[in-house]
Amino acid sequence: MNKENNNESGVTDKYGVKTTPGKEFAEKKGEVVLREHVFDGIQEYDQKMPNWWLTILWLSIAFFFVYYLVYYSFGLLPTSTESMDARVEAIAQQRVDAVKRTLDSLDDSILVNQWGSDTTILAKGQEVYNQHCVACHAPDMNSNNGLTARPLTDGVWHYGDKPMDVFNIILTGTPKDSEGYKMMRMEKWGEKIGPEKVAQVTAYILSKNPDDFAKFKK
């Protein structure tokens, strides 16, 4: 109905729409202009967009620049990817810290009673053993009757018979001042697989020698 009001000088086309001749775009509210171009026999009307619509358009465009500058040009605020990464990293760090605290407080009793009775840890320890130790110590831990390494089932713990002694010899390998065993030495597994896996495989080995460590069992 605005058409009627604002468009006194218009011409009515064949569809009954009053258009303003001689203009390319509508300038006033309610004005209708028939654009000149024709595509596939189709011609377009132009009308002024309502202000509420234009306001949203220009505000969105302005918001883009602010957003782009804040997040990407100056990095004033972390993007969602960055804050996500930071959180994932924080969780990973917490895990590392937790493992470190556990290892710091590791002792004979914890090794035998906590790590050694946790089936998940023992399964991991077995995995470590099968991957890294079985070549020399053999599946039955007898080290091929002591041919390829010290047997782990003979009741003799050359570097100390406490659970932590076993942990330490695996962690740090044959000590510098030791002549090893039959001219063989063991490497530092702590450096290769890390203390957590060493503790797991220690728990596994202890669990296979229950008599040797019975006095630590609660």
Q: How far is the CB of 64 from ligand HEC (least distance, A)?
A: 57
Q: How far is the CB of 140 from ligand HEC (least distance, A)?
A: 14
CB nearer ligand HEC, residue 93 or residue 178? 178
CB nearer ligand HEC, residue 26 or residue 166? 166
CB nearer ligand HEC, residue 26 or residue 206? 206
> Is the dihedral angle over the CA atoms 96, 101, 106, 110 positive or is it negative?
negative
Q: How far is the CB of 170 from ligand HEC (least distance, A)?
A: 4
Q: How far is the CB of 184 from ligand HEC (least distance, A)?
A: 3
CB nearer ligand HEC, residue 26 or residue 122? 122
Contact residues: ligand HEC, CB under 6 A: 132-133, 135-137, 149-150, 152, 156-159, 166, 169-170, 174, 178, 180-181, 184-186, 189, 201
CB nearer ligand HEC, residue 30 or residue 180? 180
Alpha carbon distance 107, 84 (integer Å): 37
Q: How far is the CB of 67 from ligand HEC (least distance, A)?
A: 53
